[in-house]
Amino acid sequence: MPQFEIAPTSGPVAFVRARSAEDAVARQLAETAVVELGEAEAGAGWQEVRVGGQPWGRIRSRDRMRFRRD
């Protein structure tokens, strides 16, 4: 299952396993809500998140192999 890094505007950064970015935000909120994602930021991959039309924070995919060195 993919892992996501979530940075809400209020609260600590969290790592969540979910099927999609929208599902990750819903799991973090512990409720069903309308989640909208913005375009991915070039280079960093952060996407702006809106819940119910209001700015909520940011999310990006956390590739666990990204920092592996052979």
pLDDT score of 60 more than 80: yes
| CA 14, chain centre distance (Å) | 9
Q: Where are the domains of the chain?
A: 3-59
Q: Does residue 65 carry a pLDDT above 80?
A: no
pLDDT tens column, 32-56: 778 888 888 887 889 999 988 889 9
In this prediction the pTM is: 0.77
Q: How confident is the model at residue 58 (pLDDT cuts 50, 70, 90)?
A: very high
C-beta separation of 47 from 58 below 8 A? yes
DSSP alpha helix (H) spans, 1-70: 21-29
